Amino acid sequence: MTSAEPQFQTVGSGAAARQIAVRSEHADTAKTGLFWLSGFKSDMSGSKAVAVANWARVKGYSVTRFDYSGHGMSGGDFEEACLSDWLEETQAVFDACCGDNTIVIGSSMGGWLAMLLALARKDSRKIKGLVLIAPAADFTEELMWKHRFTDEIRKTIMETGRFEQPSAYSDDPYVITRKLIEDGRNHLILNRSLQTGCPVAILQGAKDPDVPWQHSQRLVEALPLDNVTFTIVPDGDHRLSWPEDIDLLLCTIDRMISHRP
């Protein structure tokens, strides 16, 4: 395999250009590759991303992961970024680093980006399958704006352009910008029937406070023509990072590679 030392890929042009940190390991004999997409405010050094990369290395599969702009080692200002930027980076890294028969693994926001990537690249047939962990499709609108934000918070965002939301996973708050909310509306997918043309496996914690299992169920219902499996972990939280959760994730990837139902 090639080294997993981070390389930097330029995405965008002019004032919009940013340096995206990518770790891509290519196995010469691999027939399947893995592409990891992290969640909102997460990066490629997270426990699930590292576990997938280590497992792929042992199994001899190619694996690519990267940091979105404003995340991890990548350049860019988080507060200036939005889903359109992260989708552009996802597509650019995928096109540059991933070959045929790629399984895309998306966690939380990464699940939304994985769906958008699969829909955009449907005709290329490069994507062999999707493994989605608590997929937060449309989260800016459905989970934040409509359900969690009060009238006061929505007013703050519209008038000041930002709101600092306390995080259960970090001492630093999540800054939610007006740009993020408004741009997210350009990428909503749960308002229509979808077809990726590949198998989709969804892993969801029943006790997830951030992406309720009912939200993931909406994505299942939006994919009537795809081969979808929906696995609920009874005591699972949003991260699904306990050892048994990681084992379930790796087994799910392995089954998709092997075409086992």
| 52 close to 250: Cβ distance less than 8 angstroms | yes
User: On the CB side of 221, how many CA atoms lie within 13 Å of its CA?
Assistant: 9
Give CA 181 to chain center in angstroms: 17
**CA 59 to CA 193: how far, in whole Å?**
36
Strand partners, 198: none
Give backbone dihedrals phi and psi of 107, rounded to 5 degrees, phi first. Answer: -110, 125
| Active-site amino acid positions | 108, 208, 238
Q: What angle do CA 179, 185, 187 make, to 5 degrees?
A: 110
In three-state secondary structure terms, 134 is coil
pTM over 0.75: yes
Angle among Cα 39, 127, 35 to the nearest 5 degrees reads 35
Phi-psi region of 238 (alpha: psi -120 to 50; beta: other; left: phi over 0): alpha
At residue 1, the pLDDT reads 43
Among 66, 51, 2, which residue's Cα sits nearest to residue 29? 2
- Tokens encoding 122: 């449907």
DSSP assignment, residue 75? -
Q: Which of 133, 85, 92, 89 is nearest to 111 (CA)?
A: 133
* pLDDT tens track, the chain, 261 positions: 444 679 999 999 999 999 999 999 988 666 789 999 999 999 999 999 999 999 999 999 999 999 999 999 999 999 999 999 999 999 999 999 999 999 999 999 999 999 999 999 998 889 999 999 999 999 999 999 999 999 999 999 999 999 998 877 777 888 999 999 999 999 999 999 999 999 999 999 999 999 999 999 999 999 999 999 999 999 999 999 999 999 999 999 999 998 644
Q: 92 Cβ partners below 8 Å, 6+ apart?
A: 9, 11, 20
Structural domains of the chain, with CATH = 7-138+192-258 (3.40.50.1820)
- The tokens describing 98, both together, are 């991933």
